[in-house]
């Protein structure tokens, strides 16, 4: 039934304008506000939405992943824009830049948006 249908992700924020500034201004994504007051965001060929919620609580897990070719370069670029990468210890120990170097598996770095939602960079 759904195998040929498109899917998209959605999550909440406590401040739409700050989210727009973050995703458009810092991450450089295409952001539109629809007639319902929901942010429609495009990253590559993927779309997701962010909607306001008065009692927003950020998830304690990753809600969105961005595939990158060079994780160190991407971390450096976002860090230069003020992004702070999360520091984790065992079992997924990150280095001082916040990168989890995995062998085998993808290298990953986690960061939060303006509303505390956890996002990640994953090296392709």
Is the pLDDT assigned to residue 104 strictly greater than 90?
A: no
Can you tell me the mean pLDDT for 17-41?
97
The whole-number pLDDT of residue 90 equals: 85
Is the pLDDT assigned to residue 29 strictly greater than 90?
A: yes
Structural domains for the chain: 8-53 (3.10.180.10), 62-124 (3.10.180.10)
Question: Is this prediction's pTM over 0.95?
Answer: no
Give the rounded distance of the alpha carbon of 94 from its chain centre. 17
CA distance 94 to 75: 13
**Which residue is it, tokens 């770095």?**
109
Q: Answer for the pair 26, 83: CB distance below 8 angstroms, yes or no.
A: yes
- For 52-100, how does the pLDDT look when each residue is reduced to its tens digit (9 = 90+)? 999 999 999 999 999 999 999 999 999 999 999 999 998 899 999 999 9
Percent of the chain with pLDDT over 70: 100
Number of alpha carbons in the 13 Å side-chain half-sphere of residue 112 = 13
CA distance 98 to 41: 25
Can you tell me the mean pLDDT for 5-23?
96
């Amino acid at each position: 039934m759904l195998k040929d249908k498109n899917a998209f992700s959605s999550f909440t924020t406590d401040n739409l304008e700050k989210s727009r500034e973050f995703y458009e201004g810092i991450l450089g994504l295409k952001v539109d506000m629809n007639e319902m007051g929901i942010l429609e965001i495009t990253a590559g060929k993927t779309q997701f939405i962010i909607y306001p919620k008065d009692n927003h609580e950020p998830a304690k897990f990753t809600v969105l992943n961005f595939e990158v070719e060079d994780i160190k370069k991407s971390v450096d670029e976002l860090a230069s824009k003020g992004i702070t990468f999360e520091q984790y210890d065992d079992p997924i120990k990150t280095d001082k830049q916040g990168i989890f170097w995995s062998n085998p598996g993808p290298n990953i770095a986690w960061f939060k948006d303006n509303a505390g939602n956890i996002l990640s960079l994953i090296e392709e």
